[in-house]
């Protein structure tokens, strides 16, 4: 049994040695490789093209005039939508070097930002409660700015809540013992003028009752209280107390 196994072993070994030169003499078979695709006509990867840069010297004007100035300076059309209510809004002068529309409109929006304080309610004690309104104006677009983006003009500054007007009455007879009506009203109006109020309250003196009638925003009417308080300070203590009692204001 062993002889048969040994003979078989040598037979197999001899066959393997005879086949070895043939296998070693031929090059190893390689898998075919696909030739790389030509990139000569291949489309570039999608990306947002760079916005053109330009110089701008805008003397100021309407949003439409700004768009026309940008188109002239950049040499390219600009897609812009300007709602009718904002067509005549005046924009400040702009002088820019090597800027694109995205940077220009961003700077315009930041430059127009405003923060205004207004009365939004009444506190439990009756005093005014204040809130801060933030607004700006300029051009915006959706998504990443591109040469064919559509820009639209907005103006949040017009959304400032309108303040309600109130009517208040001030008894001036205690003050008329020392001052004339014109002295009191001139002091009040001078205060509003120095504050830069473009729409001050309306005041009117009723001779028969010696009442000063004022109509306007409540925050602006507080200046009248301040003026009358300071006028009473020039009197002796007894008269100041009497004036304070008589000069109580009422609301309508």
Higher pLDDT, 156 or 90: 90
Helical H runs in the chain? Answer: 2-25, 63-74, 101-111, 181-194, 218-232, 237-246
pTM higher than 0.85 = no
pLDDT digits (tens, 9 = 90+) for 153-176: 998 875 556 678 899 999 999 999
Measuring CA to CA, how many Å separate 106 from each of 103, 124, 172, 186? 5, 42, 53, 45
Q: Is 79 helix (H, G, I), strand (E, B) or coil?
A: strand
Which domains are assigned to the chain? 54-159 (no CATH), 165-251 (3.30.70)
Percent of the chain with pLDDT over 90: 50
- Name the nearest CA neighbour of 117 among 215, 217, 227, 251: 217
Backbone angles phi, psi at 129, to 5 degrees: -105, 135
- What's the pLDDT score for residue 32? 43
Q: Is the pLDDT of residue 37 over 50?
A: no
Q: What is the DSSP letter of 248?
A: -
- What's the pLDDT score for residue 49? 55
Measuring CA to CA, how many Å separate 94 from each of 33, 37, 70, 103? 61, 50, 11, 12
pLDDT digits (tens, 9 = 90+) for 205-247: 999 999 999 999 888 999 999 999 999 886 554 444 554 554 5
Instruction: Tell me the sheet residues that pair with 150.
Output: 79
Measuring CA to CA, how many Å separate 171 from each of 12, 146, 189, 205, 231? 131, 65, 18, 10, 13
- What's the pLDDT score for residue 184? 95
């Amino acid at each position: 049994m062993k002889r048969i196994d040994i003979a078989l072993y040598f037979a197999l070994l001899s066959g393997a040695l005879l086949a070895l030169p043939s296998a070693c003499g031929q090059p190893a078979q390689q898998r075919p490789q696909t030739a790389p695709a030509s990139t000569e006509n291949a489309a570039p990867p999608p990306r947002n093209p760079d916005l053109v840069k330009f110089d701008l010297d805008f003397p100021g004007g309407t949003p439409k005039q700004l768009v026309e100035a940008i188109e002239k300076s950049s040499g390219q059309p600009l897609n812009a939508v300007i709602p009718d209510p904002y067509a005549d809004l005046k924009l400040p002068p702009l002088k820019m070097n090597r800027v694109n529309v995205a940077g220009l409109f961003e700077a315009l929006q930041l430059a127009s930002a405003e923060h205004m304080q207004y009365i939004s309610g009444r506190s439990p004690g009756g005093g005014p409660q204040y809130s801060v309104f933030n607004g700006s104006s300029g051009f915006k677009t959706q998504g990443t700015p591109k040469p064919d983006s559509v820009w639209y003009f907005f103006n949040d500054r017009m959304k400032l809540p309108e303040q309600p007007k109130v009517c208040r009455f001030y008894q001036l007879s205690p003050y008329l013992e020392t001052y004339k009506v014109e002295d009191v009203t001139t002091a009040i109006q001078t205060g509003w003028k120095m504050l830069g109020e473009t729409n001050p309250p309306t005041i009117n003196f009723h001779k028969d009752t010696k009442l000063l009638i004022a109509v306007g925003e409540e925050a602006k009417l507080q200046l009248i209280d301040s003026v009358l308080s300071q006028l009473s300070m020039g009197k002796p203590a007894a008269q100041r107390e009497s004036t304070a009692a008589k000069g109580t204001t009422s609301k309508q």
